Structure 1
Amino acid sequence: MRSNLQIASEHYAASGRGDIAGMMADVAPDARWTEMAGFPCAGTWIGPAQIVEHVFRVLGGEWDDYRMTLESLIDGGDCIVGIGSYSGTYKRTGRAMQARVTHVWRLAGGKIVGFEQFTDTLLVARAMQIDRAARDSSH
């Protein structure tokens, strides 16, 4: 049986390949996935279908080259912590961003049952913000 650390590591590897099915392979049907308030897909989503629809489709559709670069993975048994950086370019503004991020994974019975994201949402919001001057001149 794979360890919880291996399961989280495999999720990040699948993410790096753009393999959504691989990313969701070990997510429990009732997993609670929480993206921070202020983040583009903020909220708590339940189960793989909601997670894909409200998180990964949003990020893939609104950002170019959006990625999470993992720097370290900390094994806390049933709680795994991933530390790294987000990067990407917001399509509507053409602005790039890079923000530090921490993911807290909760696992039980070989399945991901919980996920919570912590990141600097201001850096993400700045990349998404349309300049007032540019917006005003278009009217």
Structure 2
Amino acid sequence: MMSNIDIVRAHYAASAQGNLDAMMAHVSPQARWTEMAGFPCAGTWVGPQAVAENVFAVLGRDWIGYRFELQSLIDAGEHIVGVGSYHGTYRATGKAMRARVAHIWHLQNGKIVAFEQFTDTLLVRQAMGSH
């Protein structure tokens, strides 16, 4: 069985390749995925299908070149912290954005059971043309 940090590392690698199936491979059907208030996909989504539809499909639709650039992973056992930056250009305004971000992952028995995002939503909103 893969370690928790390897599961998160594999998610980020799949994200960089645009492979949604591989990104969701270790997400529990009951996983609670929280995007920060003020972020375009704000809310808590339950399960891989809801995350795919309400987070990744929306980001792919509304942003050009949207990506997460990983800087570091912190292994805290059942919790993994990913630190990096979001990059992308908002399709409707043509404005580019770069915002620092931290992801908190909670894993149990080889499955992602919770995810929470912390980012500078003001920088994202500025690219979207709203303050």
TM-score (norm 1): 0.93
Matched residues in 2 for 1:49 and 1:9: separation? Answer: 20
Matched residues in 1 for 2:48 and 2:74: separation? Answer: 24
Matched, 1:61 2:27: no
Matched residues in 2 for 1:122 and 1:22: separation? Answer: 30
TM-superposed deviation, 1:35: 0.1
TM-superposed deviation, 1:65: 0.2
Equivalent residues in 2 for 1:86-125 (5 A)? 86-125=86-125
Equivalent residues in 2 for 1:1-139 (5 A)? 1-129=1-129
Letter aligned with residue 12 of structure 1: Y
RMSD: 1.0
Q: Note the residue ranges of structure 1 that are not aligned, 5 or more in a row.
A: 131-139
Letter aligned with residue 44 of structure 2: T
TM-superposed deviation, 1:76: 0.3
Identity of aligned residues (%): 63
Cα distance per residue 1:33-71 (max 9 Å; x no partner): 000000000000000010000000000000000000000
Matched residues in 2 for 1:10 and 1:49: separation? Answer: 18
Cα distance per residue 1:99-135 (max 9 Å; x no partner): 00000000000000000000000000000016xxxxx
Which runs of structure 1 show a deviation greater than 2 angstroms over 4 or more consecutive aligned residues?
none
Matched residues in 1 for 2:105 and 2:51: separation? Answer: 14
Matched residues in 1 for 2:53 and 2:12: separation? Answer: 18
TM-superposed deviation, 1:81: 0.1
Matched residues in 2 for 1:44 and 1:129: separation? Answer: 24
Matched residues in 2 for 1:85 and 1:48: separation? Answer: 23
Length, aligned pairs only = 131
Matched residues in 1 for 2:48 and 2:79: separation? Answer: 19
Q: Note the residue ranges of structure 2 that are not aligned, 5 or more in a row.
A: none
Letter aligned with residue 40 of structure 1: P
Cα distance per residue 1:60-89 (max 9 Å; x no partner): 000000000000000000000000000000
Secondary structure of the residue that 1:82 maps to in structure 2?
strand
Larger Rg: 1
